[in-house]
Amino acid sequence: MTSTTTAAVENERTDELHIPSEETSPWLTETAWYSFWSTDLEVAVHIYLRFRPNLGVLDAFVYGWGPGGSVPWDTAYWKDVHVAMPASIQDMELPIGLRHTVVTPLERYRLSYTDTRGYNGTFGFEIDVDAVSPPSYFGGKHFDQPVRMTGWIELDGDRREVDCLAMRDRSWYRRGDFTLFRSAYSYALTSADAGFLALYAAPRDRDMLVDDLPLVGGHHATAAGPAGLTSGERRVLERDPQTGRPLRLAVDFACEDGERREALGRVRNGIALAANTNMLSWMSIVDWKVDGRTVVGEDQEIWSPSLWRAFRHGDAAEVSP
């Protein structure tokens, strides 16, 4: 085993930054993402950290949104700040007011944020992140982990409690800003052994503008552990006629154990954001109907802007109601 491989294994075990010394591409990218929402389901928050070690830059996103649809300039809170690349994320404190602490690797984390510089007063949060189950890997350099998020969000003088089951994810690989892509990420969790995570993507050999996407990965949580997903599809049943954001969704998937499942989703609220110049994402909090019960989860619909523009201008097949 080479020293580089040994370092990579150690970094994975400690959930530290993965920075291979021999990789010189400016597009080497590492990410860390967290999501949570208030118990009254009025405010949702994402933290998205995009590290570019060979450029010496960390792009730190902190944003929150409320009911309906939002764009960055009228959402509840929005910050996208470039700062110097940190040496570690174990106890990372950024000049924007964000602190990220690895309490126990792959088991417990702590997130805090304070910004008192806005017109309407303080925006901030204190969140404990506790693993519900071990991470599941998609490929060799991306994992998703079910977590329980507890704490509070403060917005415009109001403090809201947080207690939700959500996902966090990490990735580390070369990721340029010019590749065309179209994908989606949907999940709903009720416990460590009940819920689903499904990843979808448009193949390059078919129309990338159609409004249904085939499954490319994910798992269904069971009492015996996660069961991998083998096939499936995500369909948008209804879009907002003005913005195009998803309003109603359907996902189905087949599991390795032979079980086939379906979930219907009604979007509660959402935000459009651009994590880079080649990524438009609709991030939505969704009421998923799974096995006869409603579970709050998320859906992320991701487009390259040129694909989205073509889709909205009518170059795609008509969306079914």
Residue 316, pLDDT score: 45
Handedness of CA 84, 87, 89, 92 (dihedral sign): negative
Q: Residue 147 belongs to what H/E stretch?
A: strand 142-155
Separation of alpha carbons 112 and 68, rounded Å: 26
Say whether pLDDT at 110 is over 80.
Answer: yes
The predicted model scores a pTM of 0.91
Q: Which CATH number fits domain 28-175: 2.40.370.10, 1.20.1300.10, 3.40.190.10, 1.10.630.10?
A: 2.40.370.10
Count other C-beta atoms under 10 Å from residue 108's C-beta.
14
- Dist. CA 315–CA 56, nearest whole Å: 40
pLDDT band (50, 70, 90) for residue 11: low
Q: Which H or E run contains 254? A: strand 246-255
pLDDT at 291: 83
Per the CB < 8 A criterion, the answer to whether 271 and 75 are in contact is yes
Helix (H) and strand (E) counts in the chain: 2, 20
Q: Of the ranges 184-188, 220-224, 269-273, which one carries the lowest mean pLDDT score?
A: 220-224
Judged against a pLDDT cut of 80, whether residue 320 lies above it is answered with: no
For residues 87 and 208, give the distance between their C-alpha atoms in angstroms, rounded to a whole number: 39
For residue 277, the SS3 value is: coil
**Using one digit for the tens of pLDDT, what is the confidence trace for 233-281?**
999 999 999 999 999 999 999 988 788 889 999 999 999 998 888 899 9
Classify the C-alpha dihedral 289-281-306-170 as positive or negative: negative
Stretch among 43-52, 117-126, 287-296 having the lowest mean pLDDT: 117-126
| Vertex 170 angle, CA 23 and 9, to 5° | 60
- Cα separation, 304 vs 317, whole angstroms: 18
> Is pLDDT larger for residue 27 or for residue 318?
27
pLDDT on residue 281: 95
pLDDT category of residue 288 using cuts at 50, 70 and 90: very high
Nearest to 121 by CA among 155, 75, 96: 155
Question: What's the whole-number mean pLDDT along residues 278-307?
Answer: 94
pLDDT band at 1 (very low <50, low <70, confident <90, very high): very low
Residue 2: band (very low, low, confident or very high) from pLDDT cuts 50, 70, 90: very low
Question: Using an 8 Å Cβ cutoff, are 309 and 259 in contact?
Answer: no
Nearest-angstrom CA–CA distance, 226 and 220:
6
Which helix (DSSP H) or strand (DSSP E) does residue 126 occupy?
A: strand 123-131
Contact (CB, 8 A) for 236 and 249: yes
What is the H or E stretch that residue 80 is in?
A: strand 77-84
- 3-class SS of residue 250: strand
- Under the banding of pLDDT at 50, 70 and 90, the label for residue 139 is confident
Which comes out higher in pLDDT, residue 273 or 2?
A: 273
Average pLDDT for 62-90: 91
Give me the pLDDT at residue 9, please.
52
Higher per-residue confidence, 139 vs 295: 295
Per domain, the residue ranges of the chain are: 28-175, 177-321
For residue 156, what pLDDT is reported?
87
Query: Measured in whole angstroms, how far is the alpha carbon of residue 35 from the centre of its chain?
Result: 7
Instruction: Please name which of 306, 302, 319, 298 lies closest in space to residue 147, comparing C-alpha atoms.
Output: 298
Q: What is the pLDDT of residue 4?
A: 41
Task: Please name the residue that has the structure tokens 């040129």.
Answer: 306
pLDDT at 197 over 50: yes
